[in-house]
Amino acid sequence: MNVQNPGTLVQKPKRLPWLKWLRRIHAWVGLWGAALGLLFGVSGILLNHRTVMKIPAAQMEQSQVELALPTPLPNDAKALATWLQAQLNINREPSKISTEPAKTVTWAGQNIQQPSQWRVDFHSPQHSVNAEYWVGNTYVSVKRQDANIFAFITRLHKGVGMGTAWILLADTLAGGLVFLSLTGLLLWTKLHGSRLAMAGLGMTSFGLAIFVVLSSLSW
């Protein structure tokens, strides 16, 4: 009868070679999104508290001025936008140009002809400029908002005044988070023990989220 040597150690199964590469890719993807993740994390907390449990960190300083228009007056809203760009030294295209046609409105029991209204908006992460002009006036009302550092990063989070490049860059972060979530689960199940504990923790987190969402839907 063969007697097993008590000094012999039971060898642990070797880790699969692909796990080593998966861990490396997981780490590099995490490093890629670290800076943007910090920015979106801080701004996400501020945005999450914008209505309930408000954090008064993000502030927009507001100012308003009425600018005299040149003679002859602008022919249309696009001409007004071009004039505003030169007058206010705005080096970006308008974010929005809108025109509301003239119409008849009732005021104090009388029908009054309301003139056409033009709106021109310029947005950047740091500033917002909103111009409002009633056709026939010799001036245009301009409102400006300047963001502090916290409002600046929340506007970056929402992509205010940002172009396609920023949107695609933010998409890489979103895709990276999906990848990190999936690879994190896979690595956890392969490098640690109980899949039952993993499933229980995941389902508890998901169930808690569903409960909070359903609770907020009731009036």
Nearest CA among 33, 13, 19 for reference residue 187: 19
Rounded to 5°, the CA angle 11-22-205 comes to: 95
Strand order in the sheet with 117-123: 60-68, 139-147, 127-134, 117-123, 96-100
State how far the Cα of 10 lies from the Cα of 163, in Å rounded to an integer.
59
DSSP string, 106-163: EETTEEEEEPPEEEEEEE-SSEEEEEEEETT-SEEEEEEEEE-HHHHHHHHHHTTT--
CB atoms within 10 A of CB 84: 21
**At 159, which amino acid appears?**
G
State how far the Cα of 203 lies from the Cα of 35, in Å rounded to an integer.
30
The predicted model scores a pTM of 0.66
**At 195, which amino acid appears?**
R
Query: How many residues appear in the chain?
Result: 219
State how far the Cα of 99 lies from the Cα of 116, in Å rounded to an integer.
7
pLDDT tens track, the chain, 219 positions: 555 555 555 455 555 677 777 777 777 777 777 777 878 888 888 888 877 788 888 889 999 999 999 999 999 999 999 999 999 999 989 999 999 998 888 888 888 888 999 999 999 889 999 999 999 999 999 999 999 988 888 888 888 888 888 888 888 888 888 877 777 777 766 655 555 565 665 667 667 666 665 665 544
First-to-last C-alpha distance (Å) of the chain: 76
